Amino acid sequence: MGQTITEKIFSEHAGHDVKAGEIVRVAIDMIIGNDITTPISIKAFEESGAEKLARPDNFSIVMDHYIPAKDIASANQAKISREFAYKHDLKYFFDEKDMGIEHALLPEKGLVIPGDVIIGADSHTCTHGALGAFSTGMGSTDLAFGMITGGNWFKVPETIKVILNGKPGKHIYGKDIILELIRILGVDGALYKALEFTGDTIPYLAMDDRFSMCNMAIEAGAKSGIIAVDEVTQAYLDERAVANNGLRSEPKIHYSDKDAAYCQVVEIDVANLSPVIAYPFLPSNGKPVEQAVEDDLAIDQVMIGSCTNGRIEDLRIAAEIMKGKRVAKRTRMIVTPATQKILMQAQHEGLMDILIEAGAVVSNPTCGACLGGYMGILGDGERCVATTNRNFVGRMGARTSEIYLANSAVAAASAIAGKIVDPREID
């Protein structure tokens, strides 16, 4: 019996062939912390008596949740990570001077490599599987163990094979594909499984789409999401290598064997998919946009951004739809580019002029609004269309507020209309 791509990555790291279900201890290629989770890891690291990071060049801290600090508590929390980074002369420490949301910034910096094993104290660390790596979220104390030892223990996950068929239609993106998959599986249907995305749709998907899909694997309960390296991936890696004077290390590219064992196979007809809207209060509560239009859902706020959909393609999509138009009178719009580089590229392309002239507010790269931290809190009874990844009760503010998850085209079109609309009908 052959192996899946995930089994091959663990086999390469373990030094012997492994199968799903085995428990292995392997070296970690990149450990990722942020301003919220890293202070807990630092405390555990220091209480252990450790004085040095086992693999300092395989550890990164990205300040992205409450940066710039919103209050004294967040400032003091950030201070813990800063002091630790300076003390250990951390090579990969990203603060305001070179900021971005961690799951967009690290790939942009050429720090995520195919074949890597990556952990982060953030559930959406699974984003990095879009580059053919095994990447998953862990707790802050698990992160500390990796900081101290350079490795960690893993149960090799079984894999669900997701076969995507057909060319995506107009305004159908990776966000719609993953929302449809979560609708099919439910929020726990892939518990401790790897989601491997395959099929003839994949070549049509840009890296931004792939990052969105893997990012939300966790919303189906998955341990990871992963897509094998192809020409699109390689082109992205080549661009990163040029921009960053090389990648962090040489890629180790793996592909699943034809006779690999899968615990489940799910097929999605992408060619006939409508934009998917996840109604409150679960990402699995997906409905076609036609249903949302029929329900005539007025909205108070639109948020385009986050580690899921704050990339340059999202801003291009929004700007194309909003050019020459205005955000509805009773609706407000927040745009949060995922990194400073994306922000500068959007400025260079004239996208920011279009969005601001349309009435949008543009913020610095931050996770703030997505987790209900700051920069876009919802009030009682308010309704928001967001390109983020979660729409739980109280996720973005008041417990009586509602979040509808959607792609960037739906979000932009809805901002103009003041209610959820089908972007295919207004272009």
Report residue 317 as tokens: 């999509």
Sign of CA dihedral 339, 190, 237, 351: negative
What tokens does 143 get?
């992160």
Torsion of CA 276, 263, 215, 409, to 10 degrees: -20
What confidence category does residue 79 fall into, taking pLDDT thresholds of 50, 70 and 90?
very high
Element (H, E) at 266: strand 264-269
For residue range 318-345, list pLDDT tens digits in order. Answer: 999 999 999 999 999 999 999 999 999 9
Cβ atoms 111, 22 nearer than 8 A: no
Are the C-beta atoms of residues 64 and 100 closer than 8 Å to each other? yes
Residue-range domains of the chain with CATH: 5-268 (3.30.499.10), 277-425 (3.30.499.10)
Neighbours of 378 (CB within 10 A): 24
What whole-number distance in Å separates Cα of residue 153 and Cα of residue 173? 35
The pLDDT confidence band at residue 91, using thresholds 50, 70 and 90, is: very high
d(CA 406, CA 319): 16
In sequence order, what are the residues at sequence separation of 6 or more whose Cβ sits closer than 8 angstroms to the Cβ of residue 305?
Answer: 314, 334, 335, 336, 337, 338, 363, 369, 370, 387, 388
Q: What is the pLDDT of residues 169-225, one digit of tens each?
A: 999 999 999 999 999 999 999 999 999 999 999 999 999 999 999 999 999 999 999
Q: How far apart are CA 350 and CA 337, in angstroms?
A: 14
> What one-letter code names the amino acid at 199?
G
Chain segment 339-386, per-residue pLDDT in tens = 999 999 999 999 999 999 999 999 999 988 888 888 899 999 999 999
CA nearest 317: which of 289, 278, 277, 275?
275
The CA distance from 105 to 120, in Å, is: 13
| 202 closest CA partner among 172, 235, 164 | 164
Burial class (CB in 10 A: 0-12, 13-18, 19+), 377: middle
- Could you tell me the end-to-end alpha-carbon distance of the chain, in angstroms, rounded to an integer? 50
- Residue 427 has what pLDDT? 60
Q: What is the pLDDT of residues 93-124, one digit of tens each?
A: 999 888 999 999 999 999 999 999 999 999 99
Mean pLDDT score, 34-49: 95
CA 153 to chain centre: 24
Per-position b or e across 269-279, b if 16+ CB within 10 A of its CB: ebeebbbbbbb
pLDDT tens digits, 126-164: 999 999 999 999 999 999 999 999 999 999 999 999 999
